[in-house]
A and B are shown apart, each in its own frame.
Chain A
């Protein structure tokens, strides 16, 4: 048979290689910065764009989409060309993919610190960037599918299945979760509200973890672990079960982020049940990875690449066991809203994604620059710094999480909260926050050692020219008598893609259709009214400053919470919340009843607290917000906001756009007068006035002020 000659594109791999390195260090640096801001709030230098609420989404986006994202594409472009025996379908699309992805990251780096955010975790970027993400994602998908179609290898290896599932599912998640109506270039409101928004968001958020941080990395594991160990994958049959069970089950588990919330019980139960079932495929995959090293364990002692990979896969096993445990209601009652979750996600990201990426970078560098790795010793130093950094990060955070839960729930024998002031519980955690920052410093230092090692390696060698390869052309695909159905499927990309889409779509449909169709899921409450124009503007400022990153708005039906915050939260209270702002972490107290009962405070308290939280709450770790007192709010978009909200179903009367500003001014002047009574002089248009109005609104839907 005549052989065809072709060349791999190594240049695109090198481009993503350096992008992974640069964005990795950036993500770790931002992470360390915000880790330091908890025990040392002055670390933001009283600068609005350096506050925790704005930098935290920058950190998560940098870690997930910049570091891990570039790591996925680096690993994919190297592995896919070789597994398919074909150059990428289009070099132009490869470059569009690379530069487009970097442009999106840079856009995130500017917009998030500027307070431009949708408030949806891991989907904070505003609508113009959402559109760019969709286009660049499709560019990658077309390039991938094109390469698969022009391949010279009949059957697609398991790594390719995971890459396909990643492309298909992330496209679906991103599109469904990003349906929003623009108010301006950098502001939009999501289509969904309250409980429905929460369900869609955590269907997205959970599966962003599944299909961005997990499935593509499993694809990388199935390619690079056998390569590094020089052993075939332990069980190809197990990888088939692993793949189909994982992608089918994962998609259902999103509601486990919403246990004990106002989400209907049936959705919470589904989330729990499917999360428990996920242990089986997750651990099947982990064991398949670890057992691939059978007969090569002696090399793990000397080879830092294998060390990175072994610890990475072990971290995958730990986090995929812990995740289902945290989905049990009794476990979740303790872990949710605490730093336990922070520890859990960092076992996944620093351990699984980080260490596997480092292993792949060290494996690829000599191959991309045709030389030896500059220093195995430094790679070993990096391994120990990263592993110790991980340990010093997660142990204090587990400790913190359990401490928080215990302090929040502790009652005296007389039935009174032992720590009624939330701040008392925060102050207990400061030593653990310092220890976590030390762990982060070790991890960052290790990555800098890696940068040095990789730069020296690249300089010692030279970029290897695209090598000429030979392979027989792919013959027309024909069914073979007696071949198994999966073998048939492995040779047919189109049915494979369709079946993958069906597998991942079922779970979402089963959860969404009843949630959106059955009215009884969200009981309406007649006393719950839309936000006034000033409250709506204040809510947008709350979103801009990222307050939801530290304050939840979801009181769970536990006595410890109703004693502390008041009546537990009801689904009907959120029907006008575009987006929902339940939060996922309580660094500060819940605010859902901030405007009612014993939690309601005078306007002047909020004014002084925002200017300097420590003036009202000595020892508080909340950042200062003096700019809220100084900046005048721009209300030019108010009519448009009212109009968009009405389009989304909020019952503002027709023509209210004309009257909204007058109503806003009237309410604002009332707050200005209140402040004046307390000796504070300010004007109606200051941002702080809108923020106070919003905070005083919270909880008033079902309770008197």
Chain B
């Protein structure tokens, strides 16, 4: 299959295989990362922009 994608790139099978492995590793890795995250951290990070006081003296001009 790789030879169909890379015709003329003889001798680069290792390089091609490596890129394919890296491609899958990224996705599998990211899935593992998010599955193992704890809910309290997820909640904390989700709310981070809202927990920040923008400017303590600011008048928000009608837009809270």
Write the residues of chain A forming the contact surface with B, with a CB cutoff of 8 angstroms: 8, 10, 79, 82-83, 85, 153, 155, 157-159, 222-223, 226-228, 230-233, 235-237, 240-241, 244-245, 248, 264-266, 269-270, 303, 305, 363, 365-367, 370-373, 376, 457, 464, 467-469, 482-487, 490, 503, 506, 510, 513-514, 518, 520-521
Contact partners of A10 in chain B: CB under 8 A: 55
- Are A240 and B60 in contact, with the CB atoms below 8 A? no
Contact A485 B36 (CB under 8 A): yes
For B27, the chain A residues whose CB sits under 8 A away are 245
A240-B33, A503-B26 known; A367+B8 contact, CB < 8 A:
no
- Indicate if the CB atoms of B34 and A363 lie closer than 8 Å: no
Q: Mark interface residues in B33-64 (1 if CB within 8 Å of A CB, else 0).
A: 11011100111111111101111111111111
Is B8 a contact of A484 with CB atoms below 8 Å?
no
Contacts of B23 in A (CB 8 A): 248
Interface CB pairs A-B, < 8 A, 26: A8-B55, A82-B54, A83-B49, A85-B52, A227-B50, A240-B34, A248-B23, A265-B7, A363-B63, A366-B59, A367-B54, A367-B60, A371-B59, A464-B57, A467-B57, A483-B41, A484-B33, A484-B34, A485-B32, A487-B37, A510-B19, A514-B6, A514-B9, A514-B12, A518-B12, A520-B8
Query: Which of B7, B12, B46 has its CB near the most chain A CB atoms (within 10 A)?
Result: B46
Chain B residues in 8 Å Cβ range of A237:
34, 37, 42
- Please name all residues of chain B whose beta carbon is closer than 8 Å to the beta carbon of A153 when the two chains form the complex: 48
Q: What chain A residues lie within 8 Å of B45 (beta carbons)?
A: 155, 157-158, 236, 490
Q: Which residues of B contact A365 (CB under 8 A)?
A: 61
- Nearest residue (CB) in A for B2 is A266
B30 to chain A, nearest CB (A): 5
Ranked nearest first, the 5 interchain pairs of A and B with the lowest CB-CB distance are: A366-B61, A372-B61, A486-B33, A232-B46, A484-B36
Once the chains bind, are B30 and A228 in contact (CB under 8 Å)?
no
Task: Name the distance in Å between A450's Cβ and chain B's nearest Cβ.
Answer: 15
In angstroms, how far is the closest chain B Cβ from the Cβ of A385?
21
Query: Which A residues are in CB contact (< 8 Å) with B63?
Result: 228, 303, 305, 363, 366, 373
**Which A residues touch B41, using CB under 8 A?**
155, 483-484, 487
| CB-CB nearest in chain A for B20 | A510
Contacts of A482 in B (CB 8 A): 38
In the complex with contacts A233-B46, A487-B37, A240-B58 CB distance below 8 A? no
Please determine whether B30 and A245 come into contact, CB atoms closer than 8 angstroms.
Answer: yes
Give the complex CA separation of A469 and B58 in angstroms: 12
Collect the chain B residues with CB atoms within 8 Å of residue A521's CB: 8
